[in-house]
Amino acid sequence: MERMRKKNEALEAELLRSREREEAARRELAVARERLRMSEEAEERLCAQLGEVEAEALAQAREYLLQIQSLMKRLSSLPPQPRKGAAPAALRRWCRWPSKGQKPSDFRSTYLLAASTGIRFCSVGHPPPNPSPMFSSSGLHSSRRWR
């Protein structure tokens, strides 16, 4: 009888541990369900936001396309402009650019003007006629470079 009572107590203790494990598993399941619910809500919010952003991007793209088309119409209605690469005669004389038929290697003193940067470049030979402060002895080029 004593043996049966000890066995019964052991079984009751095992049942108690089993119920505790089951309760812990249920709590974990509840936590996992709550996390899943929160994830699904976040996914719905993100999908809604993505839809709004896509609609806004589409509207901006359409606006941009209309603006480009408007600018293209304006450009096509303007008279043709002279070539940007052709230097005016006064600039060619000042820079001593080659005349027609003359190769750049046929003359020694070629000055090129980089209009977009405002920097003057000079080939070996002579300094520019009116050097800017950038070409002074304290600037980028010393006076010895021009000798």
Q: What is the mean pLDDT of the chain?
A: 74
Least confident of 29-43, 60-74, 84-98: 84-98
Residue with tokens 């609609």: 55
Please report, rounded to a whole number, the percentage of residues in the chain having pLDDT higher than 90.
49
Q: Are 128 and 117 in contact (CB under 8 A)?
A: no
Q: Are 97 and 87 in contact (CB under 8 A)?
A: yes
Average of pLDDT values for 87-92? 55
Tens of pLDDT, residue by residue over 104-134, are 544 444 444 444 444 444 444 445 555 444 4
Q: Are 133 and 140 in contact (CB under 8 A)?
A: no
Q: In this model, does residue 59 exceed pLDDT 80?
A: yes
Contact residues for 132 (Cβ-Cβ < 8 A; gap 6+): 120, 139
Tens of pLDDT, residue by residue over 36-52, are 999 999 999 999 999 99
Instruction: Report in angstroms the alpha-carbon separations of 115 from 102, 121, 144.
Output: 23, 11, 25
Per the model's pLDDT, the better-predicted residue between 82 and 13 turns out to be 13
Average of pLDDT values for 42-66? 97
